[in-house]
Structures are given as C-alpha cells and as structure tokens.
Amino acid sequence: MRSALSRELERRTPGKILILDGGDGIEGFESGGDPQFTNDLSLPDQLDAYTTELFKVVRLTAAHAPVSVGVVPSNHAAWRRSKQNLGRPSDDFGLYAHKEVRKVAEAAGISAQWHFPEVYDESLCVDFVGTAIGLVHGNQFAPGKAIDWWTQQAMGDQPVTRADVLCTAHYHTWGSGVAGQNPFTKRERYWLGAPTLDNGSDWYRNIRGRDSLPGTLIFDVDATSGFDLASLTII
C-alpha cells in the first residue's frame, strides 16, 4: 500500500499533504465479538505495529510535501473495560500512538503538524488549503446515517459544522453522499466513507460472513475551488 501511495504522490505532485486517520489503528481486545481469541498480537505488540507503520507513512509523505496529520478517537482503540469506555474521549490508544509518532518524527527532523480533537470531542475539523475537512470515526451513527449525524452536529455548532467534506471510517467499506450546500462557503458538501486498510477481521467474518477489500482513499483540494471530486480514487 505504501508503494502504491508513493507512486500516486509522484503522479500528483501535491504542494501539501493531509493524512487523515479515522481510528481503529489497533484491533483491541474489548471491542465486541471475540477479538481476545482471534488476535495474533498482544495489545503492546499491536501498538508497536501501529506506531511503526504510521511513522513509515508520515516519513514517506513528508518526502513529497509538507505534512499535516489529523486523528480522532475510535471504538477499537478506546480505553475500555468490556464495552464500557473509561476516561475521556481523548484517553484513546490511537491518539496515544500519534503522540508517540509525533515525538519520533520531531527527533528524526521530519516536519509534520498534528491535529487532535478537544479533550471531550470525538470529531475534528482541519482547515486544509482553504477547505474545511471534517473527520470522525463513525461509530457515533448507524450505517447509512453519516449525513444525518453531520446535519445534527451542524445544528449544534460542533467541530464539523463548517466542513465542506466529512471523512469517516468504522464500517470498513467505501461510501459517499452529498449533504447539500455549505452556507459558509456556498460549496457542495460531501460525505466520504473510507475503506479499511486492514486485510480482514476473523471475528467479524465469523459473525457476518463477508469482508471488503482494503484500500487507501485519496483526493485533492484546490485553494480556489475546494474539493476536487474528479481527483478521488482508492488505491
């Protein structure tokens, strides 16, 4: 996947790069199903694998253009006891992994900027090249209800209120939709549900009997026109 990403970045020659991590960078052991029986890595080993792969992606992208990183908490990476979350939304192993990678990146002389939600928030909005891009994991709403959730968040003036694009994860499959016109920018709003990066989950397959192909969602934004729909691809 990194090799394909490198080739894509060479083709696009971006001026800036934003990496969005929608969460679930680890499987965890108390996220539902039977991950405690089907995981082949301990929790420390999962965190080691996550931080290692994340650093490689940051290092790769930083070789092409200045990098920003946005990350949100998620259900698999949450600090929990069984299905009960402990602590605050910011007490999340995924956010912890990014904080550790940020330290290593700084020590390695890699110029990258990180964006985290507020302590009690689960969503984030990043202003990237003049386009507001929202991010949330997706366990906050039922399948197919991303735009409904976004609408309610906008009414409550939450972090994703002014976003032109909302990116989500959680459901392991590609999805998209149009959410009307943004009253702040007069642009069309788009919801983009990203596919998963992993190659399947045994406990989910045993329950549901199906998996989706992994992939990396990529799109461009323009300083003048914003989100470029024609640029969107999955590698």
Strands 123-128, 188-193: pairing kind: unpaired
Listed in order, strand segments (DSSP E) in 7-74 are: 17-21, 67-71
Whether the Cβ atoms of residue 76 and residue 27 lie closer than 8 Å to each other: yes
Nearest residue to 76 via CA among 41, 115, 119, 112: 41
pLDDT over threshold 90, residue 228: yes
Range of the domain at 179: 2-234
What's the pLDDT score for residue 96?
98
pLDDT over threshold 90, residue 234: yes
pTM summary value? 0.94
Number of domains in the chain: 1
Nearest residue to 109 via CA among 180, 58, 40: 58
What is the average pLDDT across 175-196? 96
Give tens-digit pLDDT for 17-64. Answer: 999 999 999 988 886 656 667 788 999 999 999 999 999 999 999 999
What is the average pLDDT across 154-173? 95
What's the pLDDT score for residue 198?
81
Task: For the chain, give the mean pLDDT.
Answer: 93
Q: DSSP code of 230?
A: E
What's the pLDDT score for residue 39?
81
What's the pLDDT score for residue 32?
63
pLDDT over threshold 80, residue 208: no
CATH number of residue 116's parent domain: 3.60.21
Dist. CA 160–CA 151, nearest whole Å? 9
